Structure 1
Amino acid sequence: MFRSTTTSGRRRPLRSALGMVAALAIAVSGLTIGTIVSEQTTTESASAATAAGFDPGNIISDANFYNGSAMSAASVQSFLNSVVPTCHTDGTPCLKNFAQTTPKISAVSGRCAALGGSKMTGAQLITAVGNACGISQEVLLVLLEKEQGLVSAGASADTKNKPNWPTAYKYTHATGFACPDTAACNPAYNGFFAQVYAAALQFKRYQASPTSWAYQAGRNNAILYNPNAACGRKTVYIKNQATAGLYIYTPYTPNAAAMANLYGTGDSCSAYGNRNFWRMYTDWFGSPTGGSSPIGSLDSLKAGFKQVVVGGWTADPDTTAAIKAQIYVDGVGKASVMANAVRPDLAARLGANNTAHGYTATLSGLSTGKHTVCVFGINTGPGSNTLLECRDVTVSGGVPTGVIDAASAVAGKLTIRGWAIDRDSQSATQVQVRADGKTLGTLTANAAKSGLNAAMPGYGDNHGYSGTVQGFPAGTHTVTVHAKDLSNGKWTQIASRSVSQATGYPWLAVDEVASKAPGKLLARGWAIDPDTTGTVRVHFYLDGKALTSIAADQTKTGLNNAKPGYGDKHAYRLERSGISAGKHSLCIIAINQGPKNLNASICKPFSTPTGSPKVTVDQAASAGLGAVTVSGTAYDPDTTAAVSLTYTVDGKQVATGTANQTKSGFDSSHPGYGNAHGYTQKLTGVGPGKHTVCVVAKNVGGGSNASTCKSVAAATGNPTLLLDEVSSPAPGQIRVRGWAIDPDTAASLRVHVYFDGAAGVSIAADQAKPSLATVYGGFGGNHAFSSTFTGKKAGATSVCVFAINQGAGDNTEVCKSVTVQ
C-alpha cells in the first residue's frame, strides 16, 4: 500500500546525545523517583542494531507502539535539536525549525481525539498527534525518518549531500501515507500535518479492526519480499498488533540480503521499510520490543475502616503477561498482587488485546492516622522494578462522620435522609435531628445506601438514615444532624443544612374557567395552605354573588412533585348549569387554614357561548334525475336546541328543515350540545348542469343567520324514458304515449318508434305534461309525446321506443308488446 524501498544506510550515532537530553530533562525538573524511572524508560539509552536481534514477527511491542505519552513536546524538540545541531538548507526549514498552522480536526470515535486549530511547531505537532491518537512519538519520529529522512534532513553541511537536505516534497509526503508503490500519491493527504495525522489515524484503524486486514496478529502470514511478486514470500507468524500494523502500512518483509547489510542495500528483491523502522528505532530509542522496566500508575487510594483500597495498573513492555504489583505501607511490604484485571482504558496505551494489567488490593489492619503507600511494578526480563508512585493517605478514626443528602419541611414535619458512620466501628450508629439546637427526633443509621462501602471501604452499605420528625417551626432554620460516638456515647455534629418551611396564605391556582355550552360553567384548579397538608375549602362568587363552596380534595397528578410533601389531593373542579347568557366574572377564594388569617383569591372573566350558527355541508351530491342530496351539521352556540334550516339552489329556496338528526361524535367535539344536530335533505326540481346548493341556519340569540354553500353537478347520462300507453284503440291502429327527459339538457328529445324491429317514425317529446313540471321543475313540463299509427296488421306486434341521447351516455330503449285489432 505504501512506499517501502527507502534504503537509508546511514547509522544514527545519537546515543550519547540522547542520553544527555534525558539527563538534562531530569536534572532541571525536580521529578519524583517514580517519574524519573518513567522518563528513563521513555528515553532509554540506545544501542546499535544488529541483524540477529530482528524478529520479523515482533518488530515492536504493543506497549511501545501505542504509548501516546512516550515523549513530551519539549523532549521531541530536544531530540530534533540533537539530531540536527545546525540546519543546512536551501531555504526549506529543518524539522526542528518547522512550524505550521493546523486545521481543526474533530474526534474520530475510538480512534483519535480532537486536535489542531492552532499554529504548532513540528515537535508540538508530533506530540499532539501522538497524544490524540495514542501512537508513540518515538514511532512517529522513526516513521518520518524511514519514509523521507525528514528527522535528519539538513544535518550534513556537505553540499554533495543536498538530496538529504529538507525539501518541500519531503514535508508534502512526510509519512508516505497514500503513496502506493504502484501509483502517484493522493494529493488529498499532502502536507506535514495531514501526513502525520493520517498515518496515526490509520494505525488506530488497524488496531480497532484487527481482523479486517490482510495481515493479522496471532497467525501465519505470507508476506512479500518486494513489490515484484516474482521475488517470493516469507511465512511470518505475527505476534502482536503493532507489528501487524507495520506490515499493513508497508507490506514487505526484508530478505536475507537486506538483513546481511543492515545499514546498506541488499539485492534487487530487497525491501527496506520495516527493516529500517526496526533499525532506526533501535539506534535511537533502544529495543522496540523490550529491555525496559515496568510502567504503570497508582490511580486511586480510598481510606476506610482500618484499611485502604489501592487501585491502578502496571505492565512490563517485555511481555503481555501480567506482572506483580508490590505494595508497601510506611516502608513495610503489605501486599503482592497480580496485575491481571481487565482495564479497557488501557487499549489506547497498550493495544486492544493487551488490557489485562489492572490491580486492586485491600490493605487491612491499619491504624488510624497518616500512612505512606508505595506501589512497585515487578520487572520481568531486562530492566528493573519500577516505583510507580508513593502517596499519602489518612485512615480516619475517632469522631463520627456523615452527610445530609436531602431535607425538606412541610406543615411542621421535617423529612430528612443521609448517612452516618462511627469511624471506629462497623456497627450502625444513631443520629439526632435538631432544628436551631432543639432535638426533634432520633433515627437509626442502619438502612442500605448503595455505593457507601465503595466510598468508605470496610464499613458496608448499611449506614443510611431517613425519616420524618415533628415540630419543625415555620420559616427558615438551621437543621443539624448529630451522630452518636459508640465508644463514649457522646453526640457529634456531622452535617448541617438551612431548611425553609413555607407559611402564610394559601397557594391558589386556576387552571381553567370557561363556559363551553349554553348555560354551563366549568372551573378547575388547585389550592394548598402551606401550613397544613389538610384540605382547603374553596368558595366561588359569580358576578359578586356567592355561588357555592367545595373542598379542594381531588387528585391532580404531579402536584406533590411541584409541592413536595403535600400530596396530590388538593385539586378542585366545579361544574354548574343555568348560567345566563353573556359576560360574567367568577372569583375563586381559598380559605386560609394557618396562623395568618389571609385568604387567597383569583378572579377570572368568562362568557357563555354566543354568536351566529355554525353550519357544515359534509356531503352534497346528485340523487338522480332532478334531485340533489345534502347532509351535514348545524348548531347555534346560544342554545342546545335544534336549529331551523332553509335550503336554496342557485339562490332559490327549495326546502326547509331542522338539524335534529343524530350525528355520532358531535358532542365529543362540541361538549354540552349533544349529538342531535345533524341533517340530511333531498332537494328536487334541480335542472341539468352545475348548481350552487346552500344550507342556511336560522340564528337564535346573538349573531345572525349563517350559511354554507357547495357546488353540485346534477345527474348526467342516459335519458329517462317512460311509456304511459301502448295500445290498439281501433282496427289497424297502435297508440304510443309517454315522456322522455335527458338529464344533460332541458330541451325536448326526439323519440324513435319501431314496430317488429322495422324502422319506424321519429317524433318529438315536446308536449305538455303538468306533472313533469311539478316533479322535475328544473326541466319544465314539455317532455311528453303521444302518437297514433295506422295501417298496422292485426295480431301481436312488438313496439320499441328509443329516447335519443343528447349528452353523455347512450339512447334509452323501452319495448312493449301489443295485439293490434
Structure 2
Amino acid sequence: MSGHYRAPGEAVALQRRRRSVLGIAVIIALIASVFVGIGLGKPDEAWALKGSDFNPGNIITDENFYDGDALSATQIQQQLDALGANCRANCLKDYSQSTRTLAASSYCDAYTGGSRESAAQIIAKVSIACDISPKVLLVMLEKEQSLVTMNNPPASRFDRAMGYYCPDDPNRPGWCHPDYAGFFNQVYNASHQLQRYAANPNSYNYRPGQWNNILYNPNRACGTQRVFIENKATAALYIYTPYVPNAAALNNLYGVGDACSAYGNRNFWRMFNDWFGSPAAPVAPKGHDPIGKLEGASLVAGKVNLRGWAFDADLPKEQLYIWVTVNGQGKHIRASLARADVARNFPWAGPNHGFNTMLDVPTGTSQVCATARNVGGGNHTSLGCRTVESLSPEPRGAFEGVTVNGTNVSVRGWAFDGDATQPQQVRLTYSGQSATVDAKLARQDVARAHGPAALLSGFNSSFVAPSGSYAVCATAVNQGRGADTALGCRNVTVGTAAPSPSPSEPPPAVGAGMNPQGMFESIRITETGVSANGWAFDGDDPTRPLFMWITVNGQGKHYHASAPRPDVEHAYPHAGPNHGFSAQIPLESGSHRVCATAHNVGGGSHTSLGCRVVVVP
C-alpha cells in the first residue's frame, strides 16, 4: 500500500520495475489521507518527534529489528487492545483464525499450527519462528493497512495485511497474489522475506555498509538521495519499501508532503517512536531476573521506613510490584517513584522505579524483607532483609538518684520514647506539687544500650522544694502510642543540709526490701539462634550478680547476670560493673517470644524485664 512491490525471491530487476506516475500519485494521496483520518494522535509538543531526528541510514537498529521475543503474546494483545481502543467491529484485537503447520526453512524455524489462534498469538509465534520483532510487525501492519487502529476494516485489508506480494500495478490497484492472501499468510511470508533480505545482503539493490542512491518517489524525476545504509534492518526496510522520505514529508510528520513525497519508511519510523520509543535505542537484555536494591530500613516514629528501587530488564519501563513482609506477613507496593540516579545508570529503563514506604512493626525485633516481582522471563528477585528493633511504645528510663542540699533538690536519670517526635519530658511530683523537665542531655551509655535514638535522653535538674519528708517521683511522659511510664520514687527530707556519704558507704538511694532493677535491652539473631542481652541488680545487695530466668515460648532456664558493664557502674557506682547478661539461646527458625525476669534477693519480689518477639530466619 505504500507504493512498493514485493514478492518471494525479489531481485534487483524487480526493484527497477516502472510504475505509472499517475497511479502511484493516487495511491500515495490515499495513504496520506488514511493516516491523517484515522487519528493516530500527534504526540505532546513537549516530546514530539521532529523530522530532523530521522536518520535515513539507520531507521532501526538490527538489535531492535531482529528481536523475536521483544513482546509476549499477552503483551502483544495488550498493545492491540490499547492501540485499537476505538475499534468497535471486525477489529484486529478480536481477530482469530486457524493456522497450518509449516516446516523449518533456511530463514525461519518451524511453525506449529493451531485452531482459532488470535492475531496476538500469530504475531508472537511468527516473531519467534522468524526472529523478527513483534514491534516491527505491529508497526508494519499499521503502516500497510491501518489494521491495528482502524474501526471495522474490510476483509480485503486482512487479506493483504502486510502488503506482501502486492505489486503497485495501476492496472490492478490493490491486487495481491492469492497464494499469499490472508492474515497468517501475510504475516508469516513477510517475516520470512525480511529474513531472506538479511541472509542475502548483496542480492538486492539496497545494501548495508555502503552508499546507496534511493528514490524519493516512484517518479524518477523527483530525484534520489545518497544514503549510507548502516545495517541490515534499514536495508530490509528500503528493499521492502524502496523510497526515502523527502524534506516535505519530514517537515509534516503527521500529514502530507508534496507531489514527490513517499511515506512508507517515514511512517514506520514515526509509529515505532510513538508506540515503543526510539527504534535506534539500545535493546535491554531479555529473560533476566529483576535487579534492584533494598537501601534501608529505619525506625521512624515507631514504624519502619523501607526504601530502595527495582526494575526488570525484560520490560524496563514497567513499574514493578514489590512484595514487602514484616515477620513473614506482607503486602504489595509499587516501585514507581522517580529516581534520577537509576535513570542515569540505566537510561533505557527510565527513572520511575523507586519505592519508599512506611510499615507497621510490632514491639521487639522484626525481620523486614523485600522481593521484586518478575515480569517476562526470569524469576522473582529477593532484595534482601533487614532486622529492626521496635521499642515498646511506652517510654523507657531510670530515676537514678536524688540529692538534697537544704531546700534545693537535684534529680538525675534518663528517659526516651521510641516513637517520640519531640524532646522527651519527665514529670516530677513531690509534696503535692509537680514540675516538668526535659530529658535531652547526651548519654552515651544509654545510646550504647538502646541505639542512637536514645542518645539525647539524660536529665539532671534542680528545683526548690518545701521543707519536710516526702517522696519525689519521676514519670516519663508518653508520646504517640502507649502510656506514661513511672520511673520510681525516692524518699527525701528537705530543709536541712544532708551529710555527704562516706566513700565506704553506699548512697542513700539504696535500701532494704527493694525489687531488682534492670533492662532487657536487645535480642539479636545469631548463627545458632538468638542472643538475649541486658543487665540487672538488686539494691538490697547491689554488688551481687543476680540470676536471670529467661524463657522461650514459656520454657526457661537460669542465666547469670555477671558480665562486666562499665556503663551500669557509671550510672550506679554503688552497684559495681558485673551485672550484664548475654544469654545464648539455640532456636529453630520461626517466631518466638523471649522473656527475661531478674530474681530478687533479700526483701522485695522478682522483676519482669519484659518480653521480645523474634523471627529466626
Give the TM-score band, short-chain normalised.
Answer: 0.3 to 0.5
Higher-Rg member (1/2): 1
TM-score scaled by length of structure 1: 0.31
The structure, 1 or 2, with the larger RCO (C-alpha pairs under 8 Å, 6+ apart) is 2
More strand by proportion, 1 or 2? Answer: 1
